[in-house]
Structure 1
Amino acid sequence: MPQLLIDDLRIDVVRKNIRSLRLTVYAPDGRVRVAAPLRTADAAIHAFVTTRRAWIRKHQEQFAAREQPVALEYVAGETHFYQGRPHELRVHEAAGTPRVQLLEEGFLDLFAPAGSLPEQREKALNAWYRARLKEQLPALAARWEPVVGQRAHEWGIKLMRTRWGTCSIRARRIWLNLELIKQPVHCLEYVVVHELVHLHERLHNARFWGLMDQFMPDWRAAKQALRSVHLKPCG
């Protein structure tokens, strides 16, 4: 990918068929990318980035301050989160495909054959997380779509490295990050509302945030909580 070095900032540059310059700072390492219209001169990109240095630094510092995730081995005694609450993992030897159950509050029970690999246990836990989030989506949509006054045609779940949610406005399709099932319910609701509001307004502009204030006045607390979370890379 082409790059520009602007003072001490290394900028990834992607030229595409768009109308305006777009700047993104990515977690976890604070990588900076500019998407630019096809014929944009390097000098214009340089000026664009220079005027936004404070914004870039703020986000890079936020990412650097995030607590690094603990490497998980999916063994007994580990802590795994569900809806913002810690749960201790209990591992039981059992034949068949690894599976997870919530049998007692505060514990997640993993049933797996002896010698099962961490990757197999992780897959089982993610399958359980996905099923729980999928179960909750109809109620979330039923609650918040009337409030926002927009309806998604399709809801999906996937692991994402840099975003909590995305919205395809044309298809009216909303994707939620699987990691949201580990966060407090209010954080999940915030992302649902955030993506639904994009069906009113594509950009994160004054109108967008004004609509957020109207539909979910306490959204800022959830947004701040999610900022402190370090999303793990997708394998």
Structure 2
Amino acid sequence: MITQMGNIKIEIQRRKIKNMNIYIKPPKGDVLVTVPMRISDEEVFRFLKKKEQWILKNHEKMKNQKTFQQKEISIEQRKWLENKIIEYAMKWEPVMGVHCTGFMIRNMKTRWGSCSIHSKKIRINLQLAAKPEECIEYVLVHELCHLLEPSHNERFYYFMDLYLPDWENRKKKLNV
């Protein structure tokens, strides 16, 4: 089923799930709402009305988010990236007093890295293989800081400043 919220098209899919979920998908901010089979259309529309401001805000945010140019990364570049991640993890984990349970490298459209707080796994964008080494270190430290503080709040930036005082310069180089 498809519905509209202003000029935003919303796709609604019924699934065998327990809760309603909203996904804002890159790169254009397409909205997908997954709904349990037992919930009526009326309940779905009440839910959407309640979440309207959140949907509008996050749709706009995703639309304006820069997506990465996907460059062809060679096997050698990928191996180099893997080695750098291991090298920096071995350097920073003992210093920061954290331990990540695993790393995954994959092409990501809108992020350089992400961290799953519960599983303590870190995902790194394959496109980092085409960036300067100091940018890889920045992304890894950033994701490891999330093991200390999940949110991008004052405490998180305190840790970034503590462990990598020049992180802002590295971030600028990364996003050039």
TM-score by length of 2: 0.68
Question: 1:132 matched to which residue of 2?
Answer: 80
TM-score by length of 1: 0.54
Structure 1 CA distance for aligned equivalents of residues 23 and 145 of structure 2 = 21
Q: Which runs of 5+ in 2 are unaligned?
A: 37-42
The CA deviation string for residues 60-88 of structure 1, in whole angstroms up to 9 with x for no partner, is: 3453xx7x849xxxxxxxxx8xxxxxxxx
Match status 1:60 vs 2:24: no
Question: 1:44 matched to which residue of 2?
Answer: 50
Q: Residue 165 of structure 1 contacts residue 191 of structure 1 at CA under 8 Å; is this kept in 2?
A: yes
1:151–1:12 CA distance, 2 compared to 1 (3 A): farther
**Which residue type is aligned with residue 63 of structure 2?**
Q
Question: 1:182 matched to which residue of 2?
Answer: 130
Query: Residues 67-146 of structure 1 correspond to what in structure 2 (within 5 A)?
Result: 69=69, 126-146=74-94
Aligned residues: 166
1:201–1:24 CA distance, 2 compared to 1 (3 A): farther
**Displacement of 1:165:** 1.7
The CA deviation string for residues 17-45 of structure 1, in whole angstroms up to 9 with x for no partner, is: 679x8775623xx3244778977711111
Give identity over the alignment, percent.
30
Structure number having the greater strand percentage: 1
The CA deviation string for residues 98-130 of structure 1, in whole angstroms up to 9 with x for no partner, is: xxxxxxxxxxxxxxxxxxxxxxxx6xx521111
Q: Residue 25 of structure 1 contacts residue 60 of structure 1 at CA under 8 Å; is this kept in 2?
A: no
Q: Which runs of 5+ in 1 are unaligned?
A: 71-79, 81-121, 229-235
Find the partner of 1:160 among 87, 108, 119.
Answer: 108
Question: 1:93 matched to which residue of 2?
Answer: none
Please tell me the root mean square deviation across aligned C-alpha atoms, in Å.
Answer: 3.7
**Displacement of 1:227:** 4.1
Q: Which has the larger radius of gyration?
A: 1
Question: 2:161 matched to which residue of 1?
Answer: 213
Q: Residue 157 of structure 1 contacts residue 177 of structure 1 at CA under 8 Å; is this kept in 2?
A: yes
Structure number having the greater helix percentage: 2
Q: Residue 148 of structure 1 contacts residue 193 of structure 1 at CA under 8 Å; is this kept in 2?
A: no
